[in-house]
Amino acid sequence: MSGLKLPTEKHLMLFSGRAYPELAQEIARLMDTELVPTRHVTYANSEIYVQYLESVRGSDAFVIQSHAAPVNESLMEQLIMIDALKRASAKRITVVVPFYPYARQDKKHLGREPISARLVADLFRTAGADRIMSIDLHAAQIQGFFDGPVDHLWGLPVLAEYVKGKYDTDEMTVVSPDAGRVRLADMWTDRLGSRLAIIHKRRDPSIANTVAVHEVVGDVEGRVCLLVDDMIDTAGTICLAAEALKQRGAKKVIAATTHPVLSGPAAQRLNDSAFEEVIVCNTLPIRTEVPVDKLTVLSIAPMLAQAIHEVFEDGSVTKLFR
C-alpha cells in the first residue's frame, strides 16, 4: 500500500462564548472534561476578537453559545469562534445553539420581508460549521435551511418528567396557546395521557407583541391546565391565555416552555399572572430586573451532554427521545 498511515484518535473539544458560560461549564462537568481556554476581547469600537490558547488541530469541536440579548453580539462572537477554528484546522465544527437566533423569522408574512433564520444558517455554514445542534426550534423547517446535519433536540422529556412527578395528570388538560402549537400539545398529551384544549387567538400583524384571545376549545372547567409553548418572550400571549383559562373555570393554570427569553415586562407580567407555576429550561440565562417568584428552572445540560457524546461517537441522537 502506497502512502503513509498513522494511528489517529478522535479528540473532542468544547468551546464556549461569553453569553452564557455557566451552561457550557455544566456540560463540560457532566462530560468529565474542561472548556478550551479562550481569549475573548471586545475592543473600544465594539469589534470582537477571539484566540484559542491551545492547539485545536484535528479536533471534533463543539462551539456552545446561548443567544440571549444582545443577540447580534453573541451571534457575531460565535461566528468569529467558528472562523478561528476553521483556520486553525479543526477537523469538524458543531455549532451548539440551545436557542436558535432569529428563529421566529422563518418565513415571509408580508411583502419585502427577510427570512432571517435562513440567513443565520447561511452565516454558520459560511463561517465553517459542519453541523448544528439546537433545542425546540420555533419552526421545524429551519432544519432544512442549513446545508448539513441538524440535530433537533426537545425540551419536552425534561419538562414532562418534572410535571408528572409533581402534578396529577389524570385531572390535567394540556392547552395549546394557539393553532401553531397544536402539534407540540399533541406530543405532550401522548406523553402525559391527558386531554387537549386549544386557545384560538388573533394577532395584529402590524403591531408586535399584541394578541387578542378569543375562544377556548376543549374541556378546561375544574381541570389543572398546562399551557405549553416553545418560549416565553414578553409573556403577553401566555398570560392572556392563563387569564382566559381561569375565566372559564380552570382549577389551576401552570406553564411549561423550553426557552425563557423573558424580555421587557415579562417578569412582572408573570408575577402578576394567574399562573401557579411557570416551568422552563436553562437554555438561556435569566437576567430579569425583578425575580420571577413562580419560575422553576430545569437543567437541559444533561441532555446536551448526551447529545454531544452521541455525535462525537457517531452514535444516534434520536435514541435519546424514544
Which among 10, 107, 164, 201 is annotated as catalytic? 201
Amino acid at 16: S
* CA–centroid distance for 204 within its chain: 26
Q: How far is CA 261 from CA 169, 231, 254, in A?
A: 27, 7, 18
CA distance linking residue 301 with residue 212, whole number of Å? 36
Question: H-helix or E-strand containing 257?
Answer: strand 252-260
Beta bridge partners of 226: 174, 254
Q: What is the dihedral of CA 238, 240, 244, 247, to 10 degrees?
A: 120
CA distance linking residue 129 with residue 31, whole number of Å? 22
CA distance linking residue 96 with residue 306, whole number of Å? 13
Number of other CB atoms surrounding residue 33 within 10 Å:
13
Cell triple for 181: 402549537
Q: Which residues contact 138 (CB under 8 A, 6 or more apart)?
A: 100, 103, 104, 106, 117, 230, 231
Cell triple for 235: 409573556
β-pairing verdict for 60-64 and 252-260: unpaired
Q: Give catalytic status of residue 251 as yes or no.
A: no
Q: Which residues contact 74 (CB under 8 A, 6 or more apart)?
A: 17, 18, 19, 65, 66, 67, 68, 101
Q: How far is CA 302 from CA 48, 149, 155, in A?
A: 30, 21, 11
Residues with catalytic roles: 201
